[in-house]
Structure 1
């Protein structure tokens, strides 16, 4: 009898895991509380933080799954383009017939060896469940004294509620935060007719343009080399190398008139944005310390300066919210303590038959690691790769508990899931692609070179995608690349080990 799987959510995570579950003979039923597939990319108020006219800050090649390239000439597609892509992907694998629209899951609980999904007054039993509801739906607003008194005409909202600059034309707007959503909103407002835009932040981050010298920055920042180096080199050296890429590409924020960030890129953080620092340099955006208090329309900042505003937008991140999980499941995962105790954000040994998709926080795009996580789940449940041993799972859960919720990088997540699924490309098998596999983009095609579901045209596809923007045009390492890779090889010689056996702490440091 075919095993049944409930997939909760019809966004990118739910769609890609359903595609790979089908490949292993499972029968997924996709529960979607909205009226359309796409998750965040529907741009529907209340269901999405994507506003009309928004474009990705991840490149076309890395914002796609391995079975379907994202067509078109745009390097950074619009939200509408991504939604159209997800519809095409669903049609390609006949997923629409499996989606139950308007089906809001109210509870998920264990029942012996099965799982019960409760929705619309109905309880349904499934062999397995994948939770793919997304982690960017419950915005976090830090406590600010007097915020409830704010009386500006445009109100105080979160970036999740932001729907473009038109409502702020000729208004004075305060944007709170320094990560991607805050800087995207601030730049959008500055170019969209707001009278005055102020960004309030706790610390100054480095800012990397999403496009430098004709090459998307995610092709440079999120490489296989970066993941291997993270395992072999001291954190200070990783910090230095990443900062070198950022500062050589964009300079340092103080050169644009922003505050000087911490010397360490890891301490300061880095955000991808094309227009923010130029707007600061032109005076279209002013930067202030973190807001101290609010009184009516007046906002007082940490430096004592007070200013009047018509609107406030908080781009201060999101909280992981899984309200439908039964109490015992929540306790096992430690959710109510603000944690998410799992083996690599996916499984828990005490919750057999339950898996999670896309619940980690990272820099960089999610499409590539999501597909790899989906393949790991499908291959494990399908029995075509061995499940992680119980002791190793518990070790991973303990490590996750000690680390807590932390931000990682797209390449670290992708390589972790690729190893778990047994599809990490092997350098020794592809000498003609060595440079591309180390320093080129982590395109989805490179994870169809080796292992299960390898494709005969993957090498040609990956070669094209690695060279698409001119960063990788031959197989000779540049002088810097050779220096970087030599340092990793020396470290591996000093400390021999199988790179496939690195710890969770190293993978998600």
Structure 2
């Protein structure tokens, strides 16, 4: 008997997990509360944080799934192009007919050996459920004394509700935060007619451009080497190497007139934007310490400076919101205490038949790790790979609880899920791609080289994608790459000697 699966959400996560569930013989029913598929990429007010004119901050190659490249030559496609891509993906795998539009899931609860999914006064039962509603729908607005008195004509909103720059033409705007959305919006406002733009931040991050020396920055920052290094090198050495890449690509913020960040990249943080630091350098964006209070239109900052604004935009992140999960599920997952206690963001040993997609926070694009997480779920439920043991899962959940919510990096998430799914590429199998598999981009094609659902054309496609912005398919490492890889090999040898007692 074919198992039926409820997939909640028809954004990228819901679509890709449905595609892979179908490949394992499951029958997914996709619940989507909106009128169309695409999740954030629909750009619908109130349902999406994508504003008019927005482009991806992740490159075309890494903003795609392994079965379908993005059309065209744009390195950073528009939001509309990504929405079109998701519609093509859904058609390719006949997912459209499985989506129930305008259906809001009100509750998910265990009912015996099955799962009860409630919507619109009805209850349906499923053998399995995948929650793929996204984690970027509930903006976090920090507490600021007097914020409720703000009287600017453009109001105080979150970046999730940013309508685009035209609403702020000729206005004085304060943008709060230093993450991607805050800097994207500040640069957008400065370039499109705002009278005055100020960014207020708790700390100065390093800022990596989207493009440096003809190469998308996510090809440089999110490599398999970086994931391997993270496992064996001291944190200080990983910090040094990543900072070296960032500063070499963009310099340090104080060189542009922004505050000087902490020496440690991990302490300061890093964010991505092409135009923000140049805007600071030319004076079209001013940087202030964190705002301390609001009184009418007046905002006072940590340095005592007070200034009047017409609008405030908070780019200060999101909280994980899964209101349809019942009290038992919420307690098991530790949600109400601000946690999300799971085995690698996906399973819990006490919640058999329930899985989550895309609920972690990271730097870098989500498409590649989402597909790998989807394959892990489908392969586990389909019996292609062995499920983690109960003891392994409980240890992973305990470690997650101890660690608490923590931001990760795209390459760390991708390799974690690739290993879980049994599809991590093996360098020894591909001698002509050894350098690309270490220091090239984590393109989706490289995860179709080995393991279940390997493709005969994956090597040729990965070679093209790795070489798209430089000769990364050369097998000879650069001096820096050789130095980096040597440090990893030495650390591995030292660990092996310590474990073996030699």
Q: Provide TM-score, normalisation by structure 1.
A: 0.97
1:71 Cα deviation after fit:
1.1
1:155 Cα deviation after fit:
0.4
Q: How does 1:415-426 map to 2 (within 5 A)?
A: 415-426=415-426
SS in 2 for 1:35: coil
Aligned equivalent of 2:131: 131
Aligned equivalent of 2:328: 328
1:73 Cα deviation after fit:
0.7
Aligned equivalent of 1:500: none
1:163 Cα deviation after fit:
1.4
Alpha-carbon distance in structure 2 between the residues aligned to 1:473 and 1:172: 49
Q: How does 1:89-168 map to 2 (within 5 A)?
A: 89-168=89-168
Alpha-carbon distance in structure 1 between the residues aligned to 2:496 and 2:106: 50
Q: How does 1:410-489 map to 2 (within 5 A)?
A: 410-489=410-489
Aligned equivalent of 1:504: none
1:496 Cα deviation after fit:
2.0
1:471 Cα deviation after fit:
4.9
Aligned equivalent of 1:40: 40
Q: How does 1:485-496 map to 2 (within 5 A)?
A: 485-496=485-496
- Superimposed CA distance per residue, residues 335-384 of structure 1 (whole angstroms, 9 cap, x where no aligned partner): 00000000000000000000000000000000000000000000000011
SS in 2 for 1:108: strand
- Superimposed CA distance per residue, residues 454-477 of structure 1 (whole angstroms, 9 cap, x where no aligned partner): 000000000000000115141110
Does the 8 Å contact 2:435/2:473 carry over to 1?
no
Aligned equivalent of 1:227: 227
Alpha-carbon distance in structure 1 between the residues aligned to 2:57 and 2:329: 35
Aligned equivalent of 2:286: 286
- The structure 1 segments of at least 4 consecutive aligned residues displaced by more than 3 Å after TM superposition are none
Aligned equivalent of 2:316: 316
1:122 Cα deviation after fit:
0.5
Q: How does 1:79-94 map to 2 (within 5 A)?
A: 79-94=79-94
Aligned equivalent of 1:501: none
SS in 2 for 1:139: coil
SS in 2 for 1:117: strand
Alpha-carbon distance in structure 1 between the residues aligned to 2:272 and 2:384: 38
Q: How does 1:376-387 map to 2 (within 5 A)?
A: 376-387=376-387
Alpha-carbon distance in structure 2 between the residues aligned to 1:79 and 1:123: 35
SS in 1 for 2:106: strand
SS in 2 for 1:365: coil
SS in 2 for 1:175: strand
Alpha-carbon distance in structure 1 between the residues aligned to 2:446 and 2:163: 36
1:75 Cα deviation after fit:
0.2
Does the 8 Å contact 1:5/1:26 carry over to 2?
yes
Residues 138/471 of structure 1: CA separation in 2 closer, same or farther (3 Å cut): farther
- Superimposed CA distance per residue, residues 236-277 of structure 1 (whole angstroms, 9 cap, x where no aligned partner): 000000000000000000000000000000000000100000
Does the 8 Å contact 1:440/1:471 carry over to 2?
no
Residues 371/474 of structure 1: CA separation in 2 closer, same or farther (3 Å cut): same
Aligned equivalent of 2:349: 349
SS in 2 for 1:143: coil
In the alignment, structure 1 residue 360 sits paired with structure 2 residue 360: yes
SS in 2 for 1:199: strand
Aligned equivalent of 2:500: none
Does the 8 Å contact 1:215/1:471 carry over to 2?
no
Alpha-carbon distance in structure 1 between the residues aligned to 2:401 and 2:279: 41
Aligned equivalent of 1:397: 397
Residues 453/473 of structure 1: CA separation in 2 closer, same or farther (3 Å cut): closer
Alpha-carbon distance in structure 1 between the residues aligned to 2:70 and 2:404: 35
Q: CA RMSD in A?
A: 1.0
Residues 107/320 of structure 1: CA separation in 2 closer, same or farther (3 Å cut): same
Alpha-carbon distance in structure 1 between the residues aligned to 2:407 and 2:476: 33
Give unpaired runs (5+ residues) of structure 1.
498-509
- Superimposed CA distance per residue, residues 82-101 of structure 1 (whole angstroms, 9 cap, x where no aligned partner): 00000000000000000000
1:402 Cα deviation after fit:
0.7
Does the 8 Å contact 1:207/1:271 carry over to 2?
yes
Alpha-carbon distance in structure 2 between the residues aligned to 1:339 and 1:146: 29
Alpha-carbon distance in structure 2 between the residues aligned to 1:43 and 1:345: 26
1:300 Cα deviation after fit:
0.3
- Superimposed CA distance per residue, residues 90-144 of structure 1 (whole angstroms, 9 cap, x where no aligned partner): 0000000000000000000000110000001110000000000000000000000
Does the 8 Å contact 1:345/1:360 carry over to 2?
yes
Alpha-carbon distance in structure 2 between the residues aligned to 1:223 and 1:437: 8
SS in 1 for 2:15: helix
